[in-house]
Amino acid sequence: MTSKYFKMIMISGFMFVLILFFLFLSFSCKNDLSNDANKKSLVEEMDTIERRSRAAENLLIKLQDLSKKGFAIGHQDATSYGLNWRHLDSPDSIKSDVAKVSGKFPAVYGFDIGHIELGRTHNLDSVPFDVMRQLMIDAYKKGGIITVSWHADNLTSKGNSWDKTPTVSDLINDGKLQQTYTLWVKRVADFLKSVQVDNEPIPVIFRPFHEMNGSWFWWGEGNCSVEDYKVLWQGTVDLLRETHGLNNLLYAYSPNKLNPNDDYMKYYPGDDYVDVFGIDIYDFKNSEDYIHSVVHDLAIVKKVAQEKQKPYAFTETGLETLSTPNWFTEVLYPNIENTGVSWILFWRNARVDHHYMPYEGHPISEDFRAFEALPKTLFLEDLTN
């Protein structure tokens, strides 16, 4: 009798709980249906945050906001060295040819980690990686944007980036050098992880395997297949993101200037592997040809980026030795003023015969100061203000 009574109570209790469960489920389903869009957005947001750190996400927003106000001015190796000076020689002060001429530091700082893959202490331009780390941190703490390229050596030939010996197929799909390449990527990851503020890696725009539609790099046109290039890019990002846990990177896709039959998206590795679109165009002392390419190519980049809802930039440019009078104000500015690019990066100041920004006493210095005063050029203090 007691056992039967106990069983009846258990059954009644179970039925009561079951009724409550279905009532809750019914309410929950109605609530889910009415908030389906919100739930989807939350899931997408959580996935994005997992894939990108909060700092990287903020940088992405910053790039989008910048393009509404103007374009940030960048310089490769801006604080590493310039004409007749190196940071190594006076490590207690931060210098820049841009600041010396205009009174303002650039807003975007370009660095190259070529030779990090070899375990070297200095990059291919003789900048110590320890110094580079310090300069990256300094620029970031002051409100600057950091972009990093990687002129990796040719693993098959042991040559440099410009050695066109085919090698990509050796680095992917269980190729004979894939294990060594995996080690190379680990060295990249270790360095980028080490660039920290408050024990967190700073956000970096990483721009590997650039100018792939040109033939001068081992990853370029004619030196590897399109599909192998995409696999190399995707595999590299997967290693950095998943194996090494780097969620502080934004990845920039930047072909060289387009020839008439070039397809800007030919080498595109996919939306999940690219955060920023860009293009590299140089003025080879032919302003008319340069202007045509800038106007034509940036219009294509803009269209693609807007369709994909991603920021875009003029990822490399310049006129070597700046021999064209008023180049900044008359050739460059009018043709990028309304393009919507987030930033423009000028190449490095290495020597008198190889520089892309004016230095003290340069004949084009006055034109550059006029360029700085134009409404859409944004330097470091313009970003922080």
CA distances, 196 to each of 78, 137, 200, 203 (Å): 20, 7, 5, 9
The full set of domain ranges for the chain reads: 55-384
CATH number of 55-384: 3.20.20.80
Residue 357 contacts residue 97 (beta carbons within 8 Å)? yes
Is the predicted pLDDT of residue 14 greater than 60, yes or no?
A: no
Is the predicted pLDDT of residue 58 greater than 70, yes or no?
A: yes
Is the predicted pLDDT of residue 44 greater than 90, yes or no?
A: no
What pLDDT score does 48 carry?
52
Q: Mean pLDDT over residues 115-137, rounded?
A: 98
Kindly report, residue by residue over 17-28, the tens digit of the pLDDT: 444 444 444 444
Rounded to the nearest 10 degrees, how much is the dihedral formed by the CA atoms of 242, 247, 250, 255? -20
H helix and E strand count, the chain = 12, 13
The DSSP result for 129-154, as a single string, is: HHHHHHHHHHHHHTT-EEEEEE----
What pLDDT score does 12 carry?
44
Q: Mean pLDDT over residues 153-180, rounded?
A: 98
Q: Mean pLDDT over residues 28-34, rounded?
A: 36
Residue 209 region by backbone torsions, left for phi larger than 0, else alpha for psi between -120 and 50, else beta: left
Is the predicted pLDDT of residue 97 greater than 90, yes or no?
A: yes
Report, in this order, helix, strand and coil percent for the chain, each rounded to 5: 45, 15, 35
SS3 label, residue 354 = strand
Q: Mean pLDDT over residues 261-270, rounded?
A: 97
SS3 label, residue 270 = coil
Bridge partners (DSSP) of residue 110 are 76, 147
Is the predicted pLDDT of residue 47 greater than 80, yes or no?
A: no
Kindly report, residue by residue over 346-367, the tens digit of the pLDDT: 999 999 999 999 999 999 999 9
Residue 327 contacts residue 316 (beta carbons within 8 Å)? no
CA distances, 171 to each of 100, 124, 175, 269 (Å): 44, 21, 5, 16
Q: Please list, in sequence order, all residues whose beta carbon lies within 8 angstroms of the beta carbon of residue 362, skipping any fewer than 6 positions away.
A: 101, 322, 368
Quote the CA–CA distance of 385 and 233 in Å, as a whole number.
Answer: 36
**Rounded percentage of the chain residues whose pLDDT exceeds 70:** 87
Residue 114 contacts residue 124 (beta carbons within 8 Å)? yes
Bridge partners (DSSP) of residue 316 are 280
What pLDDT score does 384 carry?
81
Q: Which residue has the higher pLDDT, 24 or 212?
A: 212
Quote the CA–CA distance of 362 and 143 in Å, as a whole number.
Answer: 28
Kindly report, residue by residue over 232-249, the tens digit of the pLDDT: 999 999 999 999 999 999
Quote the CA–CA distance of 378 and 74 in Å, as a whole number.
Answer: 9
Work out the mean pLDDT of the chain and round it to a whole number: 90
Q: Mean pLDDT over residues 334-351, rounded?
A: 98
* Beta strands 85-86 and 312-319, pairing class: unpaired
Quote the CA–CA distance of 110 and 87 in Å, as a whole number.
Answer: 15
Quote the CA–CA distance of 160 and 95 in Å, as a whole number.
Answer: 29
Sign of the C-alpha dihedral computed for residues 272, 203, 266 and 188 taken in this order: negative
Kindly report, residue by residue over 168-209, the tens digit of the pLDDT: 999 999 999 999 999 999 999 999 999 999 999 999 999 999
